[in-house]
Amino acid sequence: MKYDQLIQLYFERSTALQWYWTIYVLVIGGLLAYSSFRQTRDLITTALVTVLFSFFAYKNLDAIHDVTRERFATLELIKDFNPTGPEAADVKRVRELLDPTLVLATPEWEGVRNFHVVSDLLTISTLWAMERRRKKAA
């Protein structure tokens, strides 16, 4: 692989990661908005929404994990890349400017996982707190 292809791959994986987080936030926002508009208690619906959100959160976290691993691997390949041939001087110049900016914001996976899980638990707790506060059907 060429250096420019590695850089492109790194930023594609970064974009994919950002999209997984965006989808996650949108789902939580939609879920809480839906829950706030409901007027009467419905434990079955709340339980079903909880289970479905748990499935979604699990798969979203799994996708975030995969993309994060891909970013780590791509960054390692970028750092280890040794240019040869006529483009070596161009790559060296680009590398001097670009490499210092290629720093992973969250170098440890455990922090990302813990943040996601805590957010999942807070979302589920909020769903059930909203359910508890609803009026019973007349």
- What are the boundaries of each domain within the chain? 3-132
User: How far is the CA of 36 from the CAs of 26, 30, 72, 100, 122, in angstroms?
Assistant: 15, 10, 39, 45, 15
pLDDT values of the chain reduced to their tens digit, one per residue, 138 residues: 888 899 999 999 999 999 999 999 999 999 999 999 988 888 999 999 999 999 999 999 999 999 999 998 998 898 888 887 777 888 888 888 888 888 776 667 888 999 999 999 999 999 999 999 887 654
Tokens matching residue 125: 């707790």
Contact 1, 76 (CB under 8 A): no
List alpha helices for the chain, DSSP H. Answer: 3-37, 43-80, 88-98, 109-133
